């Protein structure tokens, strides 16, 4: 017998719209269980760089690379 399981649509409850809107994983909303203090701490850890523009390179061949 097949049982149908209904899943509730989960919305991100955080008010960090600026941060979430810049996150490429915002549809997954991984930090759903974090309170606002923990979310602020996580946000301070994450480094965001500016996106590359057309024609820009991340690195070039034979160029030193540091991570």
pLDDT digits over 5-47, tens only?
A: 665 555 555 554 456 666 777 667 666 677 778 878 887 887 7
pLDDT at 12: 56
H-type alpha helices, the chain: 17-22, 36-45
Q: Is residue 27 part of a domain?
A: yes
CA distances in angstroms from 66 to 7, 61, 63, listed in the order given: 44, 14, 10
Q: Is residue 30 part of a domain?
A: yes
Give the domain range for residue 36.
Answer: 15-40
Q: Is residue 54 part of a domain?
A: no
pLDDT tens string 42-66: 878 877 777 888 888 888 888 888 7
11, 26 in Cβ contact below 8 A? Answer: no
Q: Is residue 59 part of a domain?
A: no
CA dihedral 32, 36, 40, 46 (to 10 degrees): 0
How many domains does one find in the chain? Answer: 1
């Amino acid at each position: 017998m097949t049982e149908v399981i209904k899943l509730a649509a989960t919305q991100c409850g955080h008010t960090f719209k600026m941060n979430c809107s810049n996150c490429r994983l915002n549809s997954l909303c991984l930090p759903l269980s974090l309170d606002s203090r923990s979310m602020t701490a996580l946000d301070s850890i994450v480094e965001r760089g500016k996106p590359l523009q057309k024609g820009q390179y991340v690195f070039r061949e034979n160029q030193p690379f540091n991570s």
